[in-house]
Structure 1
């Protein structure tokens, strides 16, 4: 069964749990191979590619203390600290992993049933706080719900209206030992918010004016931004509260 989590999110959670001794390598691989048959990493040395588990072990020997995820978008490189080359590649695919303390970033690309990761230098990053992201997401969900109601979301996207009326029904993702429960809950609500955005933007609701389309997208933009920031906080061990 495929995981609802992006591959960078899985590497962040399960990779950190493995690195800190909470799970064994087989459990890490089980989490990563739900939608793929292999993962290879290039760029860590001059020997070509190597299995992801070997690469993570190499990063541990270089001082990695955890793995954090980034989910940037154009104009909002949240979770990235540079340099430009790494940011550009991460923005191109919409996600990346940072080896905390090792100065290395990994960018995934799906090639058939395989994930090919490219390693490159990554600078320290500034991250949204878990509590700040939590409060910001909660407030933005309410504001977006009001804005969408004013735009008659129930008429052009009844599925979105239904989800906004049922926000307490969360699909909580599986998490390995060592991930704070608050971050698991935050990840669930962030994915719920981003799911609402994706559903609402699936089409423009039939023949509507350019002004109406702009208004809808304007109402959804803050929710998408808050959702991504919350997702980054939930999958970044640097800012986790004590579990």
Structure 2
């Protein structure tokens, strides 16, 4: 995922939230750009029309009713419904934005301080709903914490143990108007889970055997998956709770 921004939310999550807020009339185009750029110099769309807002406007004219994010990983194409070209590009980037109702998607690539978006065909996608993703994340987090404690996480990754002991300390996520509060909270907890998994998987630390390293990865893979699913649900207006 592209990084080097002041927001903990990946760029596809930012675009999904701010573009949906713009499409629904909660923010203007200037606020949309400020929210998406978040410290980047510029965002461009590869093709004849490089403007991000004009591209979003064209997708709105094509029938887009919202914009949702996808955060796939190998073996888990959560948030994607094809076609194959989109799945491959999004998997390579680790993320994408789907224009709901317009059969199109945007895939980001960071080039220095710039994000380049590629516009591709996109199909309707299966999604976890917010409640399902929330319950899964809570259950997997407890299970992963227990498995990591049994593997003595405090010895080989004390900073991971600290985070598990202080789950109330979450990334601060700022959302535009119109994003359900439950989704903002879920996005924050999804990012927290992904951060714990990524930190613990940086290397095998004090692993003595290949078997022990595999046990650790086995404890963390479900946590990363649940974190991605939570982030997808939180950033996909198709499954937001009403109201």
Find the counterpart in structure 1 of residue 218 from structure 2: 218
More displaced 10-residue stretch of structure 1: 166-175 or 179-188: 166-175
Cα contact 2:128–2:233 (8 A) shared by 1: yes
Shift of 1:170: 2.0
**Structure 1 residue runs of 4+, over 6 Å off?**
none
Find the counterpart in structure 2 of residue 9 from structure 1: 13
Secondary structure of the equivalent of 1:50?
A: coil
Secondary structure of the equivalent of 2:117?
A: strand
**Alpha-carbon distance in structure 2 between the residues aligned to 1:37 and 1:55:** 18
Shift of 1:127: 0.3
Q: Which runs of 5+ in 2 are unaligned?
A: none
**Alpha-carbon distance in structure 1 between the residues aligned to 2:169 and 2:94:** 27
**Alpha-carbon distance in structure 2 between the residues aligned to 1:172 and 1:58:** 32
Q: Which runs of 5+ in 1 are unaligned?
A: none
Cα contact 2:81–2:124 (8 A) shared by 1: yes
Cα contact 1:160–1:199 (8 A) shared by 2: yes
Shift of 1:60: 0.8
Cα contact 2:186–2:230 (8 A) shared by 1: yes
After superposition, the C-alpha distances for 1:71-128 in whole angstroms (9 at most, x for unaligned) are 0001000000000011000000100000011000111111122111111110100000
**TM-score, normalised relative to structure 2:** 0.96
Find the counterpart in structure 2 of residue 52 from structure 1: 52
Find the counterpart in structure 2 of residue 67 from structure 1: 67
Find the counterpart in structure 2 of residue 208 from structure 1: 208
Find the counterpart in structure 2 of residue 149 from structure 1: 149
**TM-score, normalised relative to structure 1:** 0.96
| Matched residues, number | 239
**Alpha-carbon distance in structure 2 between the residues aligned to 1:34 and 1:172:** 14
Shift of 1:49: 3.7
Query: Pairwise CA RMSD of aligned residues?
Result: 1.1
Cα contact 2:186–2:231 (8 A) shared by 1: yes
Identify if the C-alpha distance between structure 1 residues 225 and 21 changes in structure 2 by more than 3 Å, giving closer, same or farther: same
**Alpha-carbon distance in structure 2 between the residues aligned to 1:168 and 1:221:** 22
Shift of 1:207: 5.3
Cα contact 2:233–2:240 (8 A) shared by 1: yes
Secondary structure of the equivalent of 1:69?
A: strand
